[in-house]
Structure 1
Amino acid sequence: MSKEQKPTLGSGAIKTRKRNIHTKNDPEAFRDKIFAIFDEAGGEVKQQLSLLDDDSLDYQRYGEVFAEILLAGNIVMPGGSVNQPPTEYCVFAAETDDDVLKTIDLFHQLMRRKPFLRTRLDNVMTKLLLCGSVFSEKERTNLAKATVLLIQRNMITVTVLQKLSTKACVESGFSLNFFMTMISEYTSDSNGEVDKLLVLLKNAKLDQDALLEMMPPKDRSQEALNAKLTEHGLEKLVEQYEKKKKQGTLVELAEGVKERIDDKIPPAEIHQWVLGQAEVSSLNDKEVLHCVWDGIAKDEDASRKAHQKRALLLSNINTYSPLLEEVCEGDMMEQDLIIRIQNFIAADMEMLNSGTFRDAVNLLYRKDVLSEEAIHTWYRRIYTLNKGSAASSNILRDQMTPFIKWLETAEEESD
C-alpha cells in the first residue's frame, strides 16, 4: 500500500540549496591574458589601459600576479626567480627612465579605478625587496627608480622599505646599494631638496641609525655611511644628519644643566661638567651659552602660574649667574645672551607683559654678567624677535627705556 501524497502550496517546484561555486586558481591563465593584451596593444599605454580595464580580468584574485608582471615581467616564484620568458613591458626590462615611468603610470591609472590593487602592490614590493639580492644590477637599479615613482604617487606604503633592514639583505650589500640608488633618484627629481626626503624616511621609520644598520657589519661606521652618501652625491643629506645630530646634542646638554640645577648642584661643578661635554661634542662658545641659558630657564611644570614662573626664573638667574658669567665672556656673547632671553620671554605673553625681561637683564647687570655697553648696544639696534611680531619687540624696548635712562644717569653721576 503506497503512502498518500500530502497536498502542497504553490507550484510544487523542488528548491535546491545554493552552493558556492569554486573556480580553479589559475595564475598562469591570467598571466597569458595580460601577455596577449600587451602583444595586441604594443607600447601604446592608452590602448593597454583600455584593454586591461576589463571586468573579465579578476584583479581581486590575481592582483599580485598583475603587479609581479608589471614589475618583474612574469610570475615571481619563492626565492625571487622569475618565470620565463618575461614581458618586455615591465620595470625590470626597461631600457630607459622613460620606460620605467610608462609602466608605473600604467599601473597608477589602473589603480585609480581599482584602489584595492595598492594592497597587492605592497605585498609584491615586500616580496621583491626580500629577494632583491638575486636580481641583476640592471633589475635592481630599475626597481629602485620605480620605488621612488611609487612613493611619489602614494601607490605603496613607505613602511615596506623596512624590509631592507633584514639580515640577508644587509649582509649581501643589497640594502645599502638599493637605498642609495633610490634616494639619489629621489633627490634628483626634487632638485636636490632633502626636506621631503627626510619626511619620507621618518614616515618609513628609517632614521640615521636605521641607515647605519643597513651597512654590512664589517664596514659599519658613521664615517663609512657619510662617505657612501657623499659618493652618491648626497652631501646635503649628510649635512642634514649632522645638523640633526648636533641639535640632539644641544638638547641633551640643556636637559643635563636643568637636571643638575634641580639637584642643587653648585654652579662651579655644573660649569666643569658643561666644559667636558662641550669638548667631547666639539661645541662652540655660543652653543654652550645657549644650552646653559636654556637649562636655567627651562620649566617643565605647565601647572605653574605666571607669577610663579617669573619668580622661579629670577631665582635661578640669581643663583646660577656665576655659571652664566663663566660662559658669557665678551660684548658679542653678552648681546647674544640678551637676544636669547628676549626670544624666550616673548614666547610667553604673560611674562612678556609682566616686565620679566627688564628684571632679568637688570639682575644679570647687577651680577656682572652683562655690561652697560652690551645693554646699550642691544637697545640702540632694537633686535627683532625670531618669533613674534614687531609689536612684541617694541613692548620689550618700552619696558627697558626707564632702565636705560637709569644707566645713563648713573654713568653721568659716576663721571
Structure 2
Amino acid sequence: MFISRNPKRFSVSCLQLEGETHSWFCVSAFVNVDKKSKQKVKCGTRIKTRKRNIAAPLDPAAFSDAVVQIYLDNAGDLELIAKSLESADLNFSRYGDTFFEVVFTGGRTQPGTTKPDEGERHPYSIIDCEPTRELILPSVIYIQKILRRKPFLIKNLENVMRRFLQSLELFEENERKKLAIFTALAFSQKLSGLPPETVFQPLLKDNLVAKGLVLSFITDFFKEYLIDNSLDDLISILKRGKVEENLLDFFPSAKRSPEGFSEHFTKEGLVPLVEYNEKKIFEVKLKDMKSALTTQITEEVDISEVIETVKQRVKDAKLPDIEVVRILWDVIMDAVQWSGKNQQQNANAALRQVKTWATLLNTFCTNGKLELELMYKVQMQCYEDAKLMKLFPEIVRSLYEQDVLAEDTILHWFRKGTNPKGRQTFVKALESFVNWLEEAEEEE
C-alpha cells in the first residue's frame, strides 16, 4: 500500500482481495479532499459493484443430441435412461419442450411443426413403436417418473402435446393411433397434473374435424381408456375437458347428428357410450319441454294451446307417455302460488291449480297405468314437501272429481301400491275416502 502525504490530498490505494474480482477492500481512515470539504471513508467497508448476467446461448440442438445419445447408450432401456438423465448435467428447465420432442419422435422437431430437424435421432420413441398398449405403457410410466423428479416439466409436456394434437394431419394414421393410445394410458395412469383441456380443446380445430381425423383419434382414445376404466370415469374426464356437453363437435358436419353418433360408436363397440348419449339427449328434451310448459302455465295460456304444445313436443322428441304425465304434474304444481305457513291457503291454492288444469292431465292420462303413475307422483311430492303432507287425500279426491283418476286406479293404489315412501301415512289418510268409494260401488 502506498500513501501520499500531499497537504491538499491524502490518498489511499486499496488492495484487491484474492478471489474477489468485483470488490475492493478499503484500509484508510480519513481522506482530506481540500480545505473546504472533508470526506470520511469507514475502515473495512466492502464496496460491491453490480455483476453482469451473462446469458448462455440457446442451443436446443446440443441438448437434443445429448438426450438422444443417452437413449442410444442405454439401448432404449427406459429404466437406465431415466437414471442417466437424473445424473446428467442437462438444462431441462430451458429445453423441456425439446426433451419431450425426443421422447415422442426420437429427436428434435422443426419449430412449430412435427417434422424432424437436423441432428441425432434414436429409434425408441413413442412414434417409432408398434401401436399397442403393451409397448406404449412403459413410456407413460417412464414420463411419470421424470415428472415426479422434475415436476416443472409438466408445462412442457402440455406444450408438446398441444402442438402435436393441433397438427394431427402431419402424422400418419398409425402414428395418430399411437398418440391416442398414449393419451388414454396417460389419463388411466393419472399422469402427474396433465389437464384434460390440454388434450381435448386443441382437437376442436375445424380443418381437423372436417377431415375426420379428430373422430378417428377420439374413437381410439375412448376404446383404449375404457379397457381399464368405467364410463363414469370417462365422462368425468370429458367434463373436466369441457367437451362433455358437445361430443357431436368431434364429428364432421355431414355426420353430426344423434343418429350419426349412435351409428358410429355402436359400430365401434362402444354401446355404453351410445346409451349414455341417448339418455343425455332424452334429458335435454324433457328439460326443454318442462321449461316451455312452465312458461305457458305460469302465464295462464289457454289450455287448448298448452295441449297442442305438449302433443307437438311429444311427437318431435318421441317422449314416452309416462314421462309426459310426470312432467305435467311437476309444472302444474311448480306454478302454484304458495302463501307460506297458512295450511288452508296452501291447500286451496293446490286444489285450485288441480281443478284449473285437470283437462290437461285428463288428455294425457289415457289408461290405468298412467293414472297410477300420476298417483305415485302425487304421493312422492306430498312425502317430500312438508306443506303438502296433509293434502294427499284432498288432491286425490279432487283428481277423482275432475275425472283424472278412476275409482279402480285409486282402489288399486290403496290395496296394492308399491311405492313405500309415506305409504302407511297416506293409506290411513285416504281410508275414509276409499270406504266411501267401496260403499258407492256396493250400492251400484
Q: TM-score, normalised by structure 2?
A: 0.83
Comparing 313-322 and 18-27, the one that deviates more: 18-27
Distance 1:351 1:218, change over 3 A: closer
- Percent identity over the alignment is 29
Q: What secondary structure, in the 3-state scheme, does the structure 1 residue paired with 2:79 have?
A: helix
1:175 paired to 2:214: yes
After TM superposition, list the pairs within 5 Å mapping 1:35-50 onto structure 2: 35-50=68-83
CA 1:3 to 1:305, structure 2 compared with 1: closer, same or farther past 3 Å?
Answer: farther
Letter in 2 for 1:178: F
1:160-239 maps to which residues of 2 (within 5 A)?
160=198, 161-190=200-229, 193-207=230-244, 210-239=246-275
Cα 1:287–1:22, aligned 2, differ >3 Å: closer, same or farther? Answer: same
Q: Which residue of 2 aligns with 1:393?
A: 423
List runs of 5+ in structure 1 lacking aligned partners. none
| SS at structure 1 position matched to 2:151 | coil
Q: Which moved more, 1:321-330 or 1:46-55?
A: 46-55
- Per-residue CA distance 1:121-160 (angstroms, 9 max, x = gap): 1111110111111111221101001111222315421112
Aligned to 1:264: 300
CA RMSD of aligned residues (A): 2.6
| 1:251–1:291 CA contact under 8 A, matched in 2 | no
State the Cα deviation string for residues 149-188 of structure 1 (Å, max 9, x = none).
Answer: 2223154211121111112322332212111111121223
Match of 1:60, SS state, is coil
Query: Could you say which structure has the higher helix fraction?
Result: 1
Rounded Cα–Cα distance in structure 2 between residues aligned with 1:343 and 1:131: 54
Does the CA contact (< 8 Å) of 2:392 and 2:426 recur in 1?
A: yes
Looking at structure 2, the residues matched to 343 and 373 of structure 1 have their Cα atoms a distance apart, in angstroms, of: 20
> Using a 3 Å threshold, how does the CA distance of structure 1 residues 189 and 18 change in structure 2: closer, same or farther?
same
Structure 1 residues 59-68 or 296-305, which shifts more?
Answer: 296-305
Structure 1 residue aligned with 2:107 = 74
Structure-2 residue corresponding to 1:371: 406
Report whether the alignment pairs 1:330 with 2:367.
yes
Partner of 1:157: 195
Aligned counterparts, 1:92-171, within 5 A: 92-95=127-130, 96-152=132-188, 153-155=190-192, 156-160=194-198, 161-171=200-210
- Is residue 279 from structure 1 mapped to residue 315 from structure 2 by the alignment? yes
Q: 1:311 to 1:47 in 2, by over 3 A?
A: farther
Task: Name the residue aligned to 2:34.
Answer: none
SS in 2 for 1:116: helix
User: Structure 1 residues 332, 88: CA separation in 2 closer, same or farther (over 3 Å shift)?
Assistant: same
Amino acid of the residue matched to residue 169 of structure 1?
A: L
Highest RCO, 1 vs 2 (Cα 8 Å, sep ≥ 6): 1
Deviations 1:180-207 (A, max 9, x none): 11112122333xx422222222221213
Number of corresponding residues? 404
Counterpart of 1:361 in structure 2 is: 396
Q: Is the 8 A contact 1:339 1:383 kept in 2?
A: no
By how many angstroms is 1:12 displaced?
6.2
Q: 1:301 to 1:42 in 2, by over 3 A?
A: farther
Residues 3, 173 of structure 1: CA spacing in aligned structure 2 closer, same or farther, 3 A cutoff? Answer: farther
Residues 89-131 of structure 1: CA deviation (Å, up to 9, x unaligned)? 3211122322210001011122123222222211111101111
User: What is aligned with 1:29?
Assistant: 62
Amino acid at match of 1:159: E
Which structure has the larger Rg over C-alpha atoms? 2
Displacement after TM superposition at 1:304 (Å): 5.2
Give the 3-state SS of the residue equivalent to 2:226 in structure 1. helix
Contact 2:68 2:107 in 1 (8 A): no
SS of residue paired to 2:251: coil
Whole-angstrom CA distance in 2 between matches of 1:332 and 1:219:
39
Q: What TM-score comes out, normalization by structure 1 length?
A: 0.88
Aligned CA distance change for structure 1 residues 365 and 13 (closer, same or farther; 3 Å) = closer
Partner secondary structure for residue 404 of structure 2: coil
